[in-house]
C-alpha cells in the first residue's frame, strides 16, 4: 500500500515519532522502534504509526486523470486532463509523461461556484500530447508535490492508410457508426474538418435527414494529425441521429463556407490593414442509410432499441414493516444508452389493490450527452398508503427492449413485490377507552356516583353548547370561501380529463383527436381557443411540437404523425410547472420521502 503525505501531515507524524521514540528509548533501552510493544498497556507502537498514516492518507487530495477521447491514432494529438476539487500540495511535474508522449503544450484553469449554500471547486491541468508509439500506453501517476494523480491507460492505434492522395488545404470527412441501423435506434454521425490554413468567419450547416431526430453531442474537439505526411489540424464534431422511419434514406452533404487567410502580404503595411482573405466552400459526401424495421421476433408492446438498458427500484423504508395510514415511497428508475428519453416507457401502471392507495408523482426525465452517445433517464416515485393491515402484492414490472449490439430482444425485470402493513388506528384507540371504563366501574359505590355523574353531564352539556355556537360561527364565516374553492376543484378535474384524452390520442397517433384535446385543455387553462395562442403559453419544446402538429394538420401532403414526442414534451412542461409552484409555495408537503 502506497501512502502520500502532505508536508504538514508528514511533519506532524515525524514529531510524534520523535517524542514517542525518545520516551521508549529511555524506558526500554533503545529497543527497535517498529517492533517494540508496550506490554503493560497492551499498546502496539506500530499500530499507532499505521493509524496516523491511514488518517493522513485520507487527507490526500484526489486528482483524477481523464482523456478527451480513446482510442487515438498514432499521429493524432490528444488531451490528458488532470482534475482536482481542491488545491494539491504543489505544482505538477509532467516529466514522467515524456517516456511515452511528446508534450505539445499545457494549460491550467479553475472554476468555483456557490450553489444552495455549498461551495464547489474544480481545478484542471490540460496537457496536449502526441503518442510516440502504438499500443496500450500507461499514463503514470503525476506528482503534485506530495499529492499524486491516479494512473490511466490510453490505446494508440496505427493510422488508417489513406489512398485518397488528398493534399487539399481544407476539406471535410464524415462517417457513421452504422449504415444499417434499426428504426429509432442511435446512429453516431462524426464530421471532421481538416485544415492546414488559417480560417475566419466560417459557417457550417447542420446535418439533415428526413424523418429523424438529430442531437448535437457536446463541444467540438481540436487535435493535430498527419495525412500523407502533411500536418493538419482537425476539428471534430459529433451528432446522434435517430431515424424514425424504415427504408433507404440519405444524410445530406455538409457545406462549409469560410474565409481563408492568404499568406501574401498586403500591398501597404499599416496598423489598420486587414490580412487578405479568400472565400472557400467545401462539401462533404452524402451518407446513405438503410434503416431496418423492427424485427418480427420482437414481441414487446413498445419498440425500445438501445445499446444497454438498466431497471431498478428503491424503497424509502422497510416493505415488511409498513404502518397503516402512513406512506411508503417506491422509486422506479430506468437508464438506457443509445436512445432518447421520449422512447422510455411508463414504469408505474394503475393497479387496483383493495385497501392500498397509490399516489404517483410526476416523472423526472433527463438526458446526458456523452462522447459515445446519449443516456436517457426516467424516474418515477409512487407513494403507497395501506388502510388495513395485511400483505399486499405488487405485480412484476417487465420492460422488453431490443439490444442493438447483440441484435436480440431482452427483458429488464423487477420481480413481484410483497409489502406488509401492520397496526390499526382503531386497535390503538380502543384499549385506552376500555381501561378507563374499568377504572370508573371499580369506584362506583351508589348514589354519590349518580350525583357526580349528573353534575358532570351538566358541565359537559354547557361546554358542548358553547362549542356548537363556535362551530356555527366558524362555518358561516368559511361558507363563502368554500363556495369559491368549488370551481377550482371542478377545473382540476376537467384538466385531468383533457390530459387523459391527449394521452390516448398521442398513443393512437390520432392528430385530430390530439388537436381537440389540446384545444379543450387550453380553453380551461388559458381561456384560449387557438392552437397558436395556446402554444405561446408553453415552454419552447412543447410550443414547437404544437406548431408541428398544427402544420401537419393543414399540410397538402402530411407525413404520418407520431404522438409520442408531443405527449412527452407535454409531460415535461407539466412537471416544470409543478416544480415552479413548489418552489414559490411556503407550504410543507403532506409527507416527506
Model confidence pLDDT, tens digit, residues 76-108: 778 899 999 888 888 999 999 999 998 888 888
Backbone dihedral angles phi then psi of residue 466, each to the nearest 5 degrees: -60, -45
Residue 432 within any structural domain of the chain: no
Look at residues 56, 58, 48 and name the one whose alpha carbon lies nearest to residue 17.
48
- Pair (175, 287) in one structural domain: yes
The reported pLDDT for the residue numbered 59 is: 63
Query: What H or E segment, with its residue span, contains residue 458?
Result: helix 447-507
* Contact by Cβ (8 Å): 13, 5: yes
Q: Are residues 286 and 180 in the same domain?
A: yes
For residues 528 and 534, the answer to whether their CB atoms sit within 8 Å is: yes
Task: Tell whether the torsion through CA atoms of 173, 176, 177 and 179 is positive or negative.
Answer: negative
**Domain termination site, one of 157, 187, 216:** 157
Residue pLDDT, tens place only, 130-177: 888 889 999 999 999 989 999 999 998 886 545 444 568 889 999 999
Q: Is residue 48 part of a domain?
A: yes
Q: Distance from CA of residue 368 to its chain's centroid? A: 6
Provide the pLDDT for residue 177: 93
DSSP class of residue 94 equals -
Euclidean distance between CA atoms 30 and 13, whole angstroms: 20
SS3 (DSSP) at 511: helix
Q: What is the pLDDT of residue 432?
A: 38
pLDDT at 25 over 80: no
Looking at the structure, do residues 67 and 48 belong to the same domain, yes or no? no
CA atoms in the 13 A half-sphere facing the CB of 200: 7
Residue 127: inside a domain = yes
Residue 204's CATH number: 2.60.40
Q: What is the pLDDT of residues 368-418, one digit of tens each?
A: 988 888 999 999 999 999 999 999 999 999 999 999 999 999 999 999 999
Does any domain span residue 55? yes
Structural domain for 500, as ranges: 477-584
Digit-coded pLDDT (tens) for 568-588: 888 888 877 765 565 444 333
Mean pLDDT of 432-458: 43
Q: Is the pLDDT of residue 43 over 70?
A: no
Place of cell 506500530: 46
Is residue 313 domain-resident?
yes
Computed over every residue of the chain, the mean pLDDT equals: 77
Number of domains in the chain: 5
Count CA atoms within 13 Å of residue 288 on its CB side.
3
Q: What is the pLDDT of residue 471?
A: 73
**Could you tell me if 54 and 137 lie in one domain?**
no
**Do residue 339 and residue 399 come from a single domain?**
yes
Domain boundary among 233, 260, 291: 291
pLDDT at 448 > cutoff 50? no
Calculate mean pLDDT across residues 5-17: 44
Domain end, chosen from 291, 321, 338, is at: 291
Confidence of residue 9 (pLDDT cuts 50, 70, 90): very low
Q: Which residue(s) pair with 365 in the sheet? A: 378
Do 51 and 68 fall within a single domain? no
* Domain identity same for 285 and 309: no
Task: Give a yes or no: residue 590 inside a domain.
Answer: no
Nearest Cα neighbor of 363 from 156, 576, 185, 168 is 576
Reported as a pLDDT band with limits 50, 70 and 90, residue 483 is very low
Q: Specify if 121 maps to a domain.
A: yes
**542 domain-assigned:** yes
CA-CA distances (angstroms) from residue 398 to 235, 308, 310? 43, 15, 12
Whether 298 shows a pLDDT value over 50: the answer reads yes
β-bridge mates for residue 414, sequence order: 397
Q: What is the pTM of this model?
A: 0.53
Q: List the beta bridge partners of residue 124.
A: 83, 109
Whole-number pLDDT of residue 508? 87
What share of residues in the chain are helix, strand, coil (percent, to 5)? 30, 35, 35
Q: Are 399 and 309 in contact (CB under 8 A)?
A: yes
The tens digit of pLDDT for each residue in 557-569 reads: 456 788 888 888 8
Model confidence at 427, pLDDT cuts 50, 70, 90, reads very low
User: Do 233 and 147 share a structural domain?
Assistant: no
Residues 6+ apart with CB under 8 A from 520: 498, 501
The full DSSP string for 256-278 is EEEEEEPSSPPSS--TTPPPPEE
Amino acid at each position: 500500500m502506497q501512502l502520500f503525505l502532505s508536508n504538514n501531515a508528514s511533519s506532524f507524524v515525524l514529531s510524534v515519532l520523535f517524542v514517542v521514540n525518545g520516551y521508549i528509548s529511555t524506558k526500554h533501552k533503545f529497543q527497535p522502534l517498529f517492533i517494540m510493544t508496550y506490554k503493560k498497556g497492551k499498546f502496539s507502537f506500530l499500530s499507532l504509526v499505521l493509524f496516523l498514516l491511514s488518517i493522513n492518507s485520507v487527507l490526500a487530495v484526489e486528482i483524477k486523470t481523464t482523456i478527451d477521447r480513446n482510442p487515438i491514432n498514432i499521429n493524432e494529438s490528444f488531451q490528458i486532463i488532470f482534475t482536482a476539487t481542491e488545491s494539491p500540495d504543489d505544482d505538477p511535474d509532467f516529466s514522467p509523461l515524456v517516456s511515452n508522449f511528446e508534450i505539445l503544450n499545457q494549460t491550467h484553469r479553475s472554476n468555483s461556484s456557490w450553489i444552495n449554500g455549498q461551495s464547489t471547486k474544480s481545478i484542471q491541468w490540460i496537457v496536449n500530447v502526441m503518442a510516440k508509439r502504438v499500443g496500450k500506453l500507461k499514463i503514470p501517476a503525476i506528482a503534485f508535490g506530495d499529492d499524486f494523480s491516479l494512473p490511466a491507460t490510453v490505446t494508440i492505434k496505427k493510422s488508417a492508410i489513406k489512398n485518397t492522395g488528398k493534399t487539399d488545404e481544407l476539406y471535410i470527412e464524415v462517417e457513421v457508426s452504422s449504415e444499417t441501423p434499426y428504426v429509432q435506434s442511435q446512429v453516431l454521425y462524426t464530421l471532421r474538418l481538416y485544415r492546414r490554413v488559417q480560417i475566419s468567419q466560417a459557417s457550417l450547416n447542420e446535418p439533415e435527414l428526413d424523418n429523424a431526430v438529430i442531437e448535437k453531442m457536446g463541444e467540438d474537439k481540436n487535435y493535430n494529425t498527419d495525412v500523407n505526411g502533411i500536418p493538419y489540424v482537425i476539428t471534430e464534431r459529433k451528432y446522434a441521429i435517430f431515424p424514425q422511419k424504415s427504408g433507404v434514406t440519405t444524410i445530406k452533404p455538409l457545406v462549409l463556407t469560410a474565409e481563408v487567410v492568404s499568406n501574401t502580404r498586403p500591398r501597404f503595411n499599416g496598423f489598420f490593414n486587414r490580412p487578405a482573405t479568400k472565400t472557400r466552400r467545401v462539401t462533404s459526401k452524402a451518407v446513405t442509410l438503410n434503416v431496418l424495421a423492427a424485427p418480427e421476433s420482437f414481441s414487446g408492446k413498445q419498440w425500445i432499441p438501445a445499446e444497454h438498458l438498466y431497471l431498478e427500484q428503491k424503497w424509502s423504508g422497510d416493505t415488511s414493516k409498513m404502518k397503516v395510514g402512513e406512506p411508503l415511497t417506491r422509486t422506479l428508475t430506468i437508464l438506457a444508452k443509445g436512445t432518447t428519453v421520449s422512447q422510455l416507457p411508463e414504469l408505474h401502471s394503475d393497479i387496483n389493490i383493495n385497501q392500498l392507495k397509490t399516489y404517483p408523482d410526476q416523472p423526472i426525465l433527463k438526458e446526458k450527452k456523452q462522447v459515445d452517445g446519449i443516456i436517457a433517464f426516467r424516474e418515477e416515485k409512487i407513494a403507497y398508503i395501506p388502510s388495513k393491515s395485511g400483505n399486499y402484492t405488487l405485480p412484476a414490472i417487465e420492460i422488453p427492449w431490443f439490444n442493438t449490439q447483440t441484435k436480440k430482444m431482452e427483458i429488464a425485470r423487477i420481480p413481484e413485490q410483497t409489502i406488509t402493513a401492520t397496526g390499526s388506528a382503531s386497535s390503538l384507540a380502543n384499549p385506552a377507552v376500555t381501561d378507563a371504563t374499568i377504572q370508573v366501574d371499580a369506584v362506583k359505590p351508589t348514589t354519590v356516583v349518580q350525583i357526580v355523574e349528573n353534575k358532570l353531564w351538566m358541565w359537559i352539556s354547557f361546554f358542548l353548547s358553547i362549542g356548537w355556537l363556535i362551530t356555527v360561527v366558524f362555518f358561516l364565516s368559511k361558507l363563502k370561501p368554500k363556495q369559491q374553492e368549488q370551481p377550482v376543484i371542478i377545473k382540476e378535474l376537467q384538466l385531468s380529463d383533457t390530459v387523459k384524452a391527449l394521452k390516448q390520442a398521442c398513443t393512437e397517433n390520432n392528430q385530430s383527436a390530439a388537436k381537440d384535446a389540446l384545444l379543450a385543455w387550453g380553453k380551461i387553462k388559458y381561456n384560449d381557443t387557438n392552437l397558436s395562442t395556446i402554444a405561446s403559453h408553453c415552454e419552447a419544446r412543447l410550443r414547437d411540437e404544437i406548431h408541428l402538429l398544427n402544420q401537419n394538420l393543414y399540410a397538402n401532403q402530411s407525413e404520418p404523425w407520431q404522438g409520442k414526442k408531443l405527449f412527452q414534451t407535454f409531460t415535461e412542461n407539466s412537471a416544470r410547472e409543478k416544480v415552479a409552484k413548489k418552489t414559490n409555495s411556503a407550504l410543507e408537503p403532506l409527507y416527506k420521502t
